[in-house]
């Protein structure tokens, strides 16, 4: 499988070769790296989630449509903003897709200034998304250092349980709870319960 390693790449997915070529020329003339694909499946086989970039995809394509491609990327938790190519002015579709993440629309015929502005804005969002995803992965790795018992204690700390209540829940002594609590704080490199909450909530959001 071919992977895409170049940073800040613009990915074009459109079954119309003329559209792909037109977009490529416009984007490369503005200094962007461009990779183009004739279909959504071909793109998905090559895309790596760690890649910072922007996807420009036709809404209507044979096989997997642009909207179905968006759904698949959401399912994969891919931090990739999408610019949909449309000549249809489908307002309900636009409203629906925009509720699902960082998206914008590029209407045919293309205006070079609009294209440049949209891509620049979306690349900023892409970099932020990738950074957030990396931070979340780092937090997951940190949480993985906790023992099963420490995980149980952490869940109860986050739920607002007192040491005495946690001891009763887990049938252990208060001193043992305090020891687990100290270990958790040390392993997660935090000093306050508020910081613990942030890590725990980030984990919950990542699992959602």
Residue-wise pLDDT tens for the chain (208 aa)?
A: 344 444 578 999 999 999 999 999 989 988 889 999 999 999 999 988 777 789 999 888 888 988 899 889 988 888 788 998 887 666 556 656 665 566 788 887 878 888 888 888 888 888 777 777 777 777 777 777 888 899 899 888 888 889 999 999 999 999 999 999 999 888 888 888 888 877 777 666 555 5
Confirm or reject CATH 1.10.150.120 for domain 144-207, answering yes or no.
no
At 41, is the secondary structure helix, strand, or coil? helix
CB 198: neighbour CB atoms within 10 A? 13
Check if 9-131 and 144-207 are the same fold: no
Q: Taking the CA of residue 109 as centre, how many other CA atoms within 13 Å lie in the half-sphere pointing to its CB?
A: 3
Architecture of domain 9-131: 3-Layer(aba) Sandwich (3.40)
Q: Give the start-to-end residue ranges of the domains of the chain.
A: 9-131, 144-207
Distance spanning both ends of the chain, measured CA to CA:
29
Per-residue DSSP letter, 9: E
Are the C-beta atoms of residues 123 and 144 closer than 8 Å to each other? no
């Amino acid at each position: 499988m071919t992977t895409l390693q170049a940073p800040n790449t613009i990915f074009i997915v459109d079954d119309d070769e003329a559209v792909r070529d037109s977009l490529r020329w416009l984007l490369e003339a503005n200094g962007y790296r461009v990779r183009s694909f004739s279909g959504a499946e071909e793109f998905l086989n090559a895309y790596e989630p760690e890649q910072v970039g922007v996807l420009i995809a036709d809404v209507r394509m044979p096989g997997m449509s642009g909207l179905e491609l968006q759904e698949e990327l959401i399912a994969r938790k891919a931090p990739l903003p999408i610019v949909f190519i449309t000549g249809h002015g489908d307002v309900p579709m636009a409203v629906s897709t925009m509720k699902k993440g960082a998206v914008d629309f590029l209407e045919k015929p293309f205006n070079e200034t609009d294209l440049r502005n949209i891509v620049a804005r979306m690349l900023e969002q892409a970099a932020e998304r990738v950074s957030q995803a990396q931070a979340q992965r780092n937090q997951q790795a940190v949480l993985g250092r906790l023992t099963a018992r420490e995980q149980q204690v952490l869940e109860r700390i986050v739920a607002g349980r007192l040491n005495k209540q946690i001891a009763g829940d887990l049938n252990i002594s208060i001193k043992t709870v305090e020891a687990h609590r100290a270990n958790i704080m040390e392993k997660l490199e935090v000093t306050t319960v508020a910081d613990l909450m942030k890590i725990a909530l980030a984990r919950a959001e990542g699992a959602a």
